[in-house]
Each structure stands twice: as C-alpha cells, then as structure tokens.
C-alpha cells in the first residue's frame, strides 16, 4: 500500500509508503491520503494525526514524474467522471496534524508539510518548491502558505530560485518548529501528539479553528470570535472536569462534551 494508516493511543499515524520512489506522489498515493484524512476527521477515537514518510531519505519528493497522469483537457478535469482528489483534500479539519519530515520535502511534499499545523524535521531534511525550474508553479498552496509561514523575502527567495533549504535554515526561517536526529524524529512527534491528545478535545479543536480563521480576518473580529468561542466552551463538562482535577491535583478525564 502506498499509504499506511495506524492508530496509537488516540493518535493516527499516516505514512507515505513508496520509499523506492522517495515517497513521491502518484494517483494511488493521493487517493490513499484522501481516505486517511477522512478516517481521521470522522473517528471520534482519534484526537491528533502525524504525517510522515517511510525510510530515512525522503518525506516526500513531490509528484512522481515517472507516473505522470494521462493528459486531460480542462473540461475533462473540471466536469469529467472519475477525478483524482486534490493533493490536500481532507486536510482542512479541526483536528491537529503534525508533520514529521524525515528527509527531502520537495514540491508537493513541501506543500503537504505546509498544510500541517506543526512541523518537525530530521537533521537530514531539505525543503524546496522548485516548480519554477520546470516552467510551473507550486499549485497546491505553496505560493500562498509559504509567505504566511515565513517572511515574504525568504518565501520569495525560495519560490523564485527553486533553491533547496537545509533543516537548520528551515528552523531559522520558521518553516519547522524543531530539528532532531532522524532516530528521534518519530518519538518526538508521537510525544507531542500524545500531549495534545491528553488535552480537552473540544478546546484543542476550537483553538485550531480560531487560529486558522483568525489569521485571515482583522484583529478586532478575531478577538470577538475568540470571546464567542470561549463562551461556548464555558459550560462544557470538560471545562468543569479540568478545574476540578486541578483542585484535586490529579490528571483530568476529558470526555469531549
């Protein structure tokens, strides 16, 4: 299978599994990713997800140019029968997604990483959006998400040159939050995901939604939205349990209600 899916203690682990092709994206992989995100979004036993790649060389090298899709007209792509899901289909959910980048993250691979909420990288990771070198553009959000993640100057430097960025530079620029050894990468990602999964699930999902929605609106409206959501959460059972557990000096038991 080109995409592996497993659940550990409330954390879904999604693995791009084409190491012989540097986990590059073919039609089967895109279908598998879309199905995996649907499973994460609809499974109440999953509180957080990790996306990574198989092997120790590449997270995802982008589109598999050796398995190019058959040429279709614009009309066929728009109105035809069976169509491949967009690369990021299903990722726009309110459950957190962590990307554990274990090597090359190129083209569509970097765009997958940028669509995640938290990114950590191994020391051998490299990043690039090099579509400009082959007469194209990053078409799965790269031109929009990268300048919203790092400075416009750094984003333009990457986008217009197509140059690669090493892990330590990616950390400096803010593309990733942590750089760790390859051997520690998954343990680090699972530890972060587990800490998230132990928190009140309604609060976690509300925070992600507020951050995503608030970034694109004026601050006064974002603050009003935050106040509104706080009011919605105020009377939940989990909020009462959290306060009670704090007073009793024990771990809370959250039920998501």
pLDDT digits (tens, 9 = 90+) for 95-117: 999 999 999 999 999 999 999 99
227 close to 210: Cβ distance less than 8 angstroms: no
The mean pLDDT value for 233-243 works out to: 90
pLDDT higher for 71 or 50? 50
- Ordered by start, the domain boundaries in the chain are 3-197, 201-247
The stretch 22-32 carries a mean pLDDT of: 93
**Does 3-197 match 201-247 in CATH topology?**
no
- Report pLDDT digits (tens) over 166-193: 999 999 999 999 999 999 999 999 999 9
CATH 1.10.12 fits 201-247, yes or no: yes
Query: Any idea which fold 3-197 has?
Result: 2-enoyl-CoA Hydratase; Chain A, domain 1 (3.90.226)
- E strands of 115-181, at which residues? 118-122, 126-128, 165-166, 178-180
Pairing state between β 126-128 and 165-166: antiparallel
Catalytic residue ranges: 111, 131
Does residue 43 sit in helix, strand or coil?
coil
- Please report the pLDDT score of residue 63 as a whole number: 85
């Amino acid at each position: 299978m080109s995409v592996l899916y497993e659940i550990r203690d409330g954390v879904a682990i999604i693995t791009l599994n084409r190491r012989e092709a540097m986990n590059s994206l073919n039609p089967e992989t895109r279908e598998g990713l879309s199905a995996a995100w649907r499973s994460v979004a609809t499974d109440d036993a999953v509180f957080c997800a990790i996306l990574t790649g198989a092997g120790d060389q590449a997270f995802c090298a982008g589109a598999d140019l050796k398995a190019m899709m058959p040429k279709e007209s614009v009309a066929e792509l728009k109105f035809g029968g069976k169509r491949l899901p967009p690369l990021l289909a299903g990722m726009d959910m309110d459950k957190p997604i962590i990307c554990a980048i274990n090597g090359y993250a190129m083209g569509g691979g970097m765009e997958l990483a940028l669509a995640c909420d938290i990114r950590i990288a191994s020391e051998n990771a490299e990043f690039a959006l090099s579509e400009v070198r082959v007469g194209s553009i990053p078409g799965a959000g790269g031109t929009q998400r990268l300048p919203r993640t790092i400075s416009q100057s750094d984003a333009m430097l990457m986008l217009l040159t197509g140059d690669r960025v090493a892990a330590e530079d990616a950390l400096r620029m803010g593309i990733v939050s942590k750089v760790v050894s390859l051997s520690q990468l998954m343990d680090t990602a699972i530890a972060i995901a587990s800490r998230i999964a132990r928190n009140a699930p309604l609060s976690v999902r509300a925070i992600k939604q507020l951050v995503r929605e608030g970034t694109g609106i004026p601050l006064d409206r974002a603050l009003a939205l935050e106040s509104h959501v706080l009011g919605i959460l105020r009377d939940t059972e989990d909020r009462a349990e959290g306060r009670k557990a704090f007073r009793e000096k024990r771990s809370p038991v959250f039920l998501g209600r």
